[in-house]
């Protein structure tokens, strides 16, 4: 499917989508739509209220269709995206080859969300099904999407669409990485994906394998991997724009547990099959580096992903064991299912010792505690730096990938105090779990003044229109790209 910018007068698509906001002037809006479509306004007023994601299809005598798409009262970026994604996903088998979206009543700022929604609507979760009989004329190579904009929007429209296309392609790839079962996406394969992406998009990727991890002393990562037959890797992706004008050096660290049984502290079996999702932080980091390279952002960006499985066998790390780490600090392992913070300890340590970024951010599907606090509507943000917190929250508000700041007070240090080691990986308490996890990670930043931890456990995997189970969202890529663009 190809996208073009056009004026309302220059094209006549076979299907036209008109987004409608639920304002006090809705009746007047429907009168204008009635004049265009030939449908009496009284009928539109009765059948369409412009509720969020409400769809009213209208049929013309010549076979053309018009879809009215409700956006609710005060739609934000994510509301636009989800409305278009759901419409195009549910209607993709019925859409003709030529589709237009009438955006003449809106500013150019909605274009990114619209394009991301449309592209998302074409995603197919049936990655390994052998029989796929349905086809979509619109999402075929011959499909055409015309974004109908006014004269004042034309100047910025193409740049916004180009950026959205780059983001959409990366996000869809990240969703596939996360949705792939662990026998199709293990640490080595994740490293191979990163190498191929770097070669394609012009950034460098180094993958450290087990012998080098042992040589360099990434003992925390190695300890989590002990129960697995598959070796761990440390992926280091670095994008540095050509020429001068680099704004900042930013380091991103993402948790890459490609499958998490919980180790000896094994998880219940009921939802364990969803633990292929425990690499949401890795997907966010790798996706952000790729997107930044595609968009040629003026930022020096380093992404580090410690990747491993957390499995159970006779060699697995046991509760009560004391392990080492890249920075030399010793960790008492209270709970082997609190493994994400252990591998992030080495990822953060490797970043601060070898790259010294001005800004350091880690992302991880880390705790169920943050879901208990925030549900599935925001990720937890932990930082001591008010300016960094403000900029990240603003990026979250602009993109709809929201963050909520949580405390990081030193009174919580007591929760990670160990009797036998420098610190322990789990408090053992049924409270404040996401905060104690953040305090654990803070130790391995070596007091970095601009560090933020994003606990994305409730956001990386969600219920969507794609399937009957939770599936990947690519949360974090758009958030971080917006943050980097606004540095």
Place of tokens 């600090």: 329
**Is 260 marked within a binding site?**
yes
49, 53, 73, 267: which one is catalytic?
A: 267
Angle formed at CA 193 by CA 198 and CA 125, multiple of 5 degrees: 125
**Is 413 marked within a binding site?**
no
| Distance, CA of 133 to CA of 96 (rounded, Å) | 17
Dihedral sign (CA 134, 140, 142, 145): positive
Q: Which two tokens stand for residue 66?
A: 């018009």
DSSP for 98-137? Answer: EEEEE-TTS-GGGHHHHHHHHHHHT----TT-S------S
Q: Residue 260 pairs with which residues in a beta bridge?
A: 310
163, 276, 341, 424: which one is catalytic?
A: 341
**Is 278 marked within a binding site?**
yes
* Cβ atoms of 426 and 438 closer than 8 Å: no
267 is catalytic: yes
**Is 47 marked within a binding site?**
no
Q: Give the single-character DSSP code of 276.
A: G
* Cβ atoms of 450 and 359 closer than 8 Å: yes
Residues in the chain: 487
Instruction: Name the H helices within 263-404.
Output: 280-295, 340-354, 368-374, 386-399
| Distance, CA of 66 to CA of 34 (rounded, Å) | 11
341 is catalytic: yes
Residues annotated as part of the active site: 267, 341
From the annotation, which residues make up the binding site for Mn(2+)?
255, 260, 278, 337, 339
List residues forming the annotated binding site.
255, 260, 278, 337, 339
């Amino acid at each position: 499917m190809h996208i073009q910018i056009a004026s309302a007068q220059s094209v006549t698509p076979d299907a036209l989508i008109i987004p409608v906001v639920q304002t006090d002037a809705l009746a007047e809006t429907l009168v204008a739509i009635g004049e265009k479509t030939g449908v009496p306004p009284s009928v539109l007023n009765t059948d369409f209220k412009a509720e969020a994601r409400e769809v009213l299809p209208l049929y013309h005598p010549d076979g053309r269709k018009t879809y009215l798409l409700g956006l609710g009262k005060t739609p934000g970026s994510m509301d636009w995206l989800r409305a278009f994604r759901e419409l195009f996903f549910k209607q993709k088998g019925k859409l003709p080859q030529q589709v237009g979206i009438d955006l003449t009543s809106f500013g150019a700022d909605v274009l990114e969300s619209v394009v991301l929604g449309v592209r998302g609507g074409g995603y197919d979760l049936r990655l390994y099904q052998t029989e796929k009989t349905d086809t979509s004329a619109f999402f075929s190579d011959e499909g055409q999407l015309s974004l109908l904009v006014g004269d004042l929007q034309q100047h910025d429209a193409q740049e916004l669409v180009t950026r959205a296309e780059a983001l959409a392609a990366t996000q869809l790839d990240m969703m596939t990485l996360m949705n792939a079962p662990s026998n199709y996406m293990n640490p080595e394969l994740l490293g191979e994906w990163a190498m191929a992406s770097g070669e394609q998009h012009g950034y460098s990727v180094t993958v450290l394998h087990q012998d080098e991890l042992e040589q360099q002393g990434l003992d925390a990562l190695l300890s989590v991997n002990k129960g697995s037959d598959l070796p761990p890797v440390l992926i280091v992706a670095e994008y540095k724009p050509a020429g001068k004008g680099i704004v900042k050096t930013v380091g991103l660290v993402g948790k890459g547990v490609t499958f998490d049984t919980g180790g000896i502290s094994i998880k219940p079996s009921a939802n364990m099959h969803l633990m292929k999702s425990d690499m949401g932080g890795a997907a966010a980091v790798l996706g952000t580096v790729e997107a930044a390279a595609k968009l040629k952002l003026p930022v020096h960006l380093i992404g580090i992903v410690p990747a491993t499985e957390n499995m159970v066998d006779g060699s697995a790390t046991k509760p009560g064991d004391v392990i080492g780490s890249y920075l030399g600090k010793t960790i008492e392992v209270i709970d082997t299912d609190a493994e994400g913070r252990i591998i992030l300890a080495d990822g953060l340590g490797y970043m601060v010792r070898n790259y010294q970024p001005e800004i350091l951010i880690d992302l991880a599907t880390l705790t169920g505690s943050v879901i208990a606090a925030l549900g599935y509507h925001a990720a937890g943000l932990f930082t001591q730096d008010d300016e960094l917190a403000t900029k990240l929250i603003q990026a979250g508000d602009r993109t709809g990938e929201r963050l909520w700041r949580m405390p990081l007070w030193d009174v919580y240090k007591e929760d990670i105090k160990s009797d036998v080691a420098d610190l322990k990986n789990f408090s053992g308490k049924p409270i404040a779990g996401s905060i104690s996890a953040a305090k654990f990670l803070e130790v391995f930043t070596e007091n970095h003044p601009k560090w933020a931890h994003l606990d994305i456990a409730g956001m990386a995997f969600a219920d969507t229109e794609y399937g009957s189970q939770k599936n990947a969202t690519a949360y974090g890529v758009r958030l971080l790209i917006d943050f980097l663009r606004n540095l």
